[in-house]
């Protein structure tokens, strides 16, 4: 009988091992709240941080292929100091081609869009709080920005430049977002 009980206990331990939920990583406890966009000749670096400035993450976006969208999220979660060190190393490594330059601060990436030529990154650069739902703040987008992914040298080689500019104007002649529409956070 004791052997049977031991077998049941072992089976239960195996079940517990496989059925227990994985421990969440610290980054799953919160989410990125504010972003800073930097650029080198070959890449954009979107640096995101949580509200408490404890966790920092990096998204690398390639700028060398105008008709392709290549990006990679760095799997490392950084501290503020580690992120500053990373940015310094990126700047030093790209010094011969202009280094690392700050582009803008933003609150999120809406997405990427392509007309006839290169991809563009759509950013939320200003927002205003308009309420809360179940404890989550809801914002209205008050300003957006569209940033072409290719660097200036690559952009100058775009074949349909005039037509491309026409599409960009139609899309962004006014403001990209209708200010009468409410946009909430994506959780």
> pLDDT tens across 91-127, in order?
999 999 999 999 999 999 999 988 877 899 999 999 9
Angstrom CA distances, 38 to 35, 42, 50, stand at 10, 11, 18
CA-based nearest residue to 119, from 106, 109, 107:
109
> pLDDT tens across 38-94, in order?
999 999 999 999 999 999 999 999 998 878 899 999 999 999 999 999 999 999 999
Is residue 25 pLDDT above 60, yes or no?
no
Q: Which pLDDT value is given to residue 13?
A: 45
Res. 179 pLDDT band, cuts 50 70 90: very low
Residue with the bigger pLDDT between 5 and 153: it is 153
**CB 21 within 8 Å of CB 14:** no
The overall pTM is greater than 0.75: no
SS3 state at 7: helix
Phi, psi at residue 111, to the nearest 5°? Answer: 165, -165
Q: Which strands sit side by side in the sheet containing 71-73, from one edge to the other?
A: 71-73, 56-62, 43-50, 32-39, 101-106
Element (H, E) at 185: none
Is residue 150 pLDDT above 90, yes or no?
no
Is residue 173 pLDDT above 90, yes or no?
no
Radius of gyration of the chain (CA): 23
Counting residues of the chain whose pLDDT is more than 70, the rounded percentage is: 65
């Amino acid at each position: 009988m004791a052997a049977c009980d031991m077998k049941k206990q072992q089976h239960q331990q195996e079940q517990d091992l496989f059925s227990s939920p994985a421990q969440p990583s610290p980054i799953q406890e919160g989410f990125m709240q504010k972003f800073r966009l930097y650029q080198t000749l070959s890449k954009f670096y979107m640096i995101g941080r949580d509200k408490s400035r404890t966790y920092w993450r990096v998204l690398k976006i390639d700028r060398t292929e105008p008709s392709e969208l290549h990006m990679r999220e760095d799997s490392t979660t950084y501290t503020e100091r580690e992120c500053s060190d990373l940015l310094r190393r990126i700047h030093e490594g790209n010094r011969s081609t202009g280094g690392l330059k700050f582009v803008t601060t933003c609150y999120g990436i809406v997405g990427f869009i392509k007309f006839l030529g290169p991809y563009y990154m759509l950013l939320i650069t200003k927002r205003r709080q308009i309420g809360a739902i179940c404890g989550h703040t809801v914002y209205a987008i008050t300003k957006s920005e569209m940033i072409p992914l290719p660097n200036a040298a690559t952009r100058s080689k775009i074949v349909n430049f005039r037509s491309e500019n026409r599409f960009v104007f139609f899309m962004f002649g006014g403001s990209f977002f209708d200010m009468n529409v409410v946009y909430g956070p994506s959780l």
